[in-house]
Structure 1
C-alpha cells in the first residue's frame, strides 16, 4: 500500500481497511452485483478475519440471501466441506436445523485476485454479541444457555456423523436465526436503517480499495433482542474445518483457549472430532461465565489444566517446560494444589444435582485421553443435556428479553 494511504481510518463495526490490497479483500459497494448480475448487494451483515458478508437480492427466486466474499489469499477448503455437507444433508435429523447451509458458490475475479463466494441464508447476530443491554450481569440467563448449548451439541453431532471436524467452535461462529423474514431492501431498511457509507481515507484512484466502508448490522440491539426471545442457533464458518477427503486440510487455527493440551504443545496439527469436543466444553463455560475460559489464558493454561485435571500424559508432560514446577505425581512443588474447576462464573447454578452432572459431563469432555474423551453422541444423550437442556429446547419455549436502556 502506498505511503499516501498509511493514514487510513478504522470504522467501528467494519473490517480492517488494510485488508484491501492485492490478494486481500474484494472492494464492495452497495448496489454491486455478482454472478452475472444474479446477486445484488443491499446491505452489510458483518465481516470475519478473512471475509466480508453481505445481504444480497437473488434475482433467480426474488429472495434475500447472504453472500460471503472470501479474501483472495484463502484456500477453497470451506466450499469443499460445505459441498460435502450438502451431499449428505438430512432434513429429518434434528441437528441439521442447527448447521448453516450453502445454497450456491462461485469464483469472482476482482482487482485484488480470485475470491471464493458462498451464498447462504441470512442469519442474525452471533453469541459473542454484547448482551449488557438486556441483563445487568452482562451474561445470558442460565436457562437460555441450556437451550443454546443443547442446540449446539445437536449441530456438532450432525457434523461429526458426517466426519466434519469444525475446528473453530467459538461464540463468534455460532449465529442466531432471524425470527423475521426480509423479502426486499425496504424490509431490511425498515428494521435496521439504510446501509451506512463511511469515508475512511481511501485512495479513490486505487482499484484495490472500496470508496467507503459499510459497518455491519448484526450487532444491532434491536435485532439481537428479537433473536434472543426464542434462540435458534446455527453453526457457521467452515473455513477452518476438515473432512477426511481434503488433500490439504487446514491447520488448527482456533483461539488458544479452545485448544486441548495436545494442540497447545504441537502434537495436533489439524482439527479432529476430539478437538471439537474439548472446544465444545470450553464454549459451554464461556456461555455460562460471561466469556471466562474453562482454563486460564496464555502461558498459565497448561498449569491450570494440571491443577484441575491432573498430570498430563507422559509424552505431553515431558515436552512441557512447566512440568518442572510439579513432582512426579503432578502436584505443584510451590503454590496451591487446589482445583478450581467450575468455581468461577457458575454462580447462577446453585450447588446440587445439576452442578454435579454438569461437572461430570465437562470433565469427560476435557479428558486428556482422546480415545476416552466423550463423543458428540454421548454429549447429546448425557444426563445434563437430557434433564436440563432438553426442557428448554422445545418450540414453545420463549424468554423475556427487555432492553434496559429503553
Structure 2
C-alpha cells in the first residue's frame, strides 16, 4: 500500500511545473491545481448539498473564485443555479452581504430586475475548507459567449473573426439592461467592480419547470463532457480533487435571443460599498485610468467598463488589446497607457507626470518617439513600441471596425457617446442614468427592449 500523499499547500503553484501535483488536463475546465485546501470544493454529478436539498445535475460554468452548477431544489421542486465559492473567497467576500442588502430594498427601481437575485445561501464543509454556497435562478449564457450561440437570424454576430460583435439593436439592449442594473446598484451605494461580458447573463425565457430532469442533466452526447481522471505526478490517490472535472454546458438552448430577452448583471464577488472600496479585480483591458495609477475610485469604474463594452459589442474588437507577452504589471500598464493615448488622446499632465516609463516613449515636448529601426523589439519592452502596431484615434478606429449597415449619422452619435463615457477624469464621466438618456439609447424602436 502506498503512503498517504502530503497535504498540499494552500497557495496556488506558479507556472513552474515542478510545483504541480497533477499531470496537465486538456479539457476546457478550471485548473486542476485549484483543488487544494482553501480553494475549490470537489463536486460530482449527483452530489447533494444542504442536507440533501440541492442535487447537482449539470455544470454551468466556473470563474476565478467559484464553480457554478445546475441543481434541483428537492424541497420545492425547482431548478436553481448553485454557486460554490472557494474556501479562501468564502472567508473574505462581501457578496452575500451585498445580496442580502439588495433583498431588503424595495424593487421599485426599473433596474432591480436586471440584477440576478439571491434565493438562498448556506455554508458547506468539505475537504478543502468551508465554502459559501449561493443559490440563484438559473441563467443562460453570458454576453461573452452568446454571440457563438446566435442563429442565422443574427448573421453579423457570426461573421468569422467577429469576436463579441452583436447586431446593433441587440448590443443596445444588452447595454441598456446592464446600465439599468448598474444604476440600481449605484443608487444604493454599491459598485460592481467587475463589469465584463462574462458577468452579463441572458435570462432563460422558457419555463424550466416544464422541462424534464433528463433533458437538463449534463449532456453526455457532447464531444467533451468531463475530463480524463486527474492523475497525480507521484502516483498517489488525491484526497482534495474530484474524480473528474466537468466541462461547462450553459443553458443556451433555453434562451431565445431572436425576440425580447432580458440581460442581468451577475457575480457580486468583486462588488463593494462605495464608501468602503476594496482591491478591484476588473479585467486588465477594461480598467479605468485611475485603477492603472492606483488612485481612489468609485462607481465611475463601472461606467468606464461600459464604454469599453459599447465599442466591443458594436465592432467585435476590444478597445484595448493587451499583448500576451505582458505578464508583468509594469509592461502591461505601459501597453495600456500607450493604446489609450493613441485612441483617446494625450493623458492629462497629472497622469503623464506619474507614468514612470513615459520618457521611454515620449520626447521632452511629449512627441512620440519611434524606436531605433535597427534595434529589435524585445518582449519586455511592450508590444506597442512598433509604429505600425499603434492604434488609430477613436473616430477612425470605430468607423473602420463598425458594422456595414451602420450609417455615418449613427456612427457619429455612438462616437460622441464613447467620448462622453471614456473620460480620463472620473468626475467628468456620466452616470449610468445619464447614459441611458443619451440620444443613441433613446432613438428608434428596439425589438429587444424589456
How high is the TM-score relative to the length of structure 1?
Answer: 0.85
**Residue of structure 1 aligned with 2:433, choices 377, 387, 392:** 377
Structure 1 or 2, whichever has the larger Rg, is 2
Partners of 1:209 and 1:185 in 2: CA distance: 32
Map 1:222-233 onto structure 2 (within 5 A). 222-223=253-254, 226-227=256-257, 229-233=259-263
The aligned runs of 1:378-397 (5 Å cut-off) are 378-388=434-444, 391-394=446-449
Match of 1:216 among 232, 238, 248: 248
Provide the rounded CA distance (Å) in 1 between the counterparts of 2:146 and 2:103: 32
| Alpha carbons 1:157, 1:380 under 8 Å: kept | no
2:326 match: none
* Alignment equivalent of 1:348, drawn from 404, 420, 426: 404
Choose the corresponding residue for 2:179, options 153, 160, 170: 153
TM superposition shift of 1:330 = 5.0
Given the superposition, is the C-alpha separation of residues 238 and 337 from structure 1 closer, same or farther in structure 2, using an over 3 Å criterion?
Answer: closer
1:82-131, Cα deviation, whole Å (9 max, x unpaired) = 112112241x3221121111111111111100111100000011111163
- Partner residue in 1 for 2:4: none
SS at match of 2:88: coil
- Indicate the residue corresponding to 1:359 in structure 2: 415
Contact 2:200 2:266 in 1 (8 A): yes
> Does the 8 A contact of 1:151 with 1:393 survive in 2?
no
Which residue does 2:25 correspond to in 1? 10
**Contact 2:171 2:313 (C-alpha < 8 Å) held by counterparts:** yes
The answer on 1:119 being equivalent to 2:135 is: yes
Aligned to 1:267: 295
The CA distance in 2 between the partners of 1:34 and 1:305, in whole Å, is 47
Counterpart residue number, 2:379: none
2:200 to 143, 165, 174: 174
74-83 or 19-28: which moved more?
A: 74-83
Deviation at 1:197, TM superposition (A): 4.8
Q: Sort the Cα spacing of 1:97 and 1:357 in 2 relative to 1 into closer, same or farther, 3 A.
A: same
CA contact 2:32–2:230 (8 Å) conserved in 1: no
Q: 1:221 to 1:394 in 2, by over 3 A?
A: closer
Unaligned runs of 5+ in 1: 396-406
Q: Tell whether the 8 Å contact from 2:169 to 2:448 is kept in structure 1 after alignment.
A: no
List per-residue Cα deviations over 1:165-195 (Å, max 9, x = no partner).
1111111111111122223783462686359
* Residue of structure 2 equivalent to 1:54: 69
> Matched residues in 2 for 1:338 and 1:56: separation?
48
Q: 1:347 to 1:329 in 2, by over 3 A?
A: farther
- Aligned counterpart, 1:339: 393
* Structure 1 counterpart SS, 2:69: strand
Asked whether the 8 Å contact 1:42–1:185 carries over to 2, the reply is no
| Unaligned ranges ≥5, structure 2 | 1-7, 10-17, 323-331, 371-386
Q: Distance in 2 between matches of 1:187 and 1:348?
A: 43
Alignment of 1:240 onto 2:270: yes
Contact 1:307–1:339 (8 Å) recurs in 2: yes
Mapped partners of 2:174, 2:354: distance in 1: 37
In structure 1, the residue corresponding to 2:243 is in which secondary structure?
A: coil
User: Alpha-carbon deviation of 1:237?
Assistant: 0.6
Tell me, in whole angstroms, the C-alpha distance in 2 between the residues paired with 1:369 and 1:240: 23
Residue 250 of structure 1 pairs with residue 278 of structure 2: yes
| Closer/same/farther in 2, CA of residues 262 and 76 from structure 1, 3 Å limit | closer
RMSD over aligned Cα, in angstroms?
Answer: 2.9
Q: Name 2:40's counterpart in structure 1.
A: 25
Against the structure 1 CA distance between its residues 320 and 383, is the aligned structure 2 distance closer, same or farther, given a 3 Å change threshold?
A: same
